[in-house]
Amino acid sequence: MSKHTEYVARLPDANGQLFFPQEEHAVWQALYNRQQGNLTQFACSEYQRGLEKLNLSNDKIPQLTDIDKVLFDTTGWVTAAVPALISFEKFFALLANKEFPVATFIRSEDEFDYLREPDIFHEVFGHCPLLTNPSFAHFSHMYGQLGLAASKQDRVFLARLYWFTVEFGLIRNKDNSLEIYGGGILSSPGETLYAMGDTPLIKPFNLVDVLRTPYRIDIMQPVYYAIDNIEYLDEIVKMDIMGAVDEAKKLGLFEPLFEPKSKAS
């Protein structure tokens, strides 16, 4: 992970409460209201049910303590307030302990459509609703355990699995329609419309292919991978993921579908 950030996280007080100025609550409200209309049309039903359970405010950044009560009662998870960026080691350790890291800052207005760093809107609005789903929660827990035990080299491959599932995963329904379960899309009004449009390439999920697919964090994704339903995450857990990592290393990466960062506009 990059160690450079332009954001400063808010620190919780002794009671775990976070305090944000009104202008930052206004950013949450604007993001929530922009994305609310997209959810009923594009978000998977499991996400929508989770959003109802969390009962998030549309005009105020929620308290993590309130979210924890719902998550713990449904799947045994809680959140963990973290700075803007954390190490892979810390990230995997938190997931392995059923603690979901939440960066306690919110984006600036010029990064409404696409955010390079995960903020509290991305983590809470994008991911926490699905943490009420047993399949998603179990996958996230397993992923943390797997990453914690993996080598530094293998973690680079595992990052691609997380990227193309938890962050930017899609569901292909039997009628060929698409739904979103990836929090990176669900928390981005711009990427939601982009992902549901005609521009990106949508591929069926294949574990080795996913592990071989390069990505950039600072652009809209040129390719997404779609699973059949949210319960398919349970099937991925049963796969020989580290064996697939070894195979991906032998085969090498696919040719990127984007320009190198230094040449991209």
Q: Which residues are catalytic?
A: 122, 127, 167, 187
- Kindly give the interhelix angle for 64-75 and 45-54, rounded to the nearest 10 degrees: 120
- Was 235 annotated as part of a binding site? no
- Was 167 annotated as part of a binding site? yes
d(CA 233, CA 226): 11
Question: What tokens appear for 153 in the block?
Answer: 């080299």
Residue found by looking up tokens 């609005």 in the block: 125
Residue 69, helix vs strand vs coil: helix
Cβ proximity of 157 and 245 under 8 Å: yes
- Was 122 annotated as part of a binding site? yes
Question: Looking at the DSSP assignment, which residues form a beta bridge with residue 180?
Answer: 43, 170
Phi then psi for residue 100, to 5 deg, are -95, 120
Nearest Cα neighbor of 185 from 158, 167, 162, 207 is 167
Question: What tokens appear for 8 in the block?
Answer: 């400063």
d(CA 260, CA 258): 7
Q: Can you say how many angstroms the Cα of residue 209 is from the centroid of all Cα atoms in its chain?
A: 19
Q: Can you say how many angstroms the Cα of residue 207 is from the centroid of all Cα atoms in its chain?
A: 18
Q: Can you say how many angstroms the Cα of residue 26 is from the centroid of all Cα atoms in its chain?
A: 23
Residue ranges at the known binding site for Fe cation: 122, 127, 167
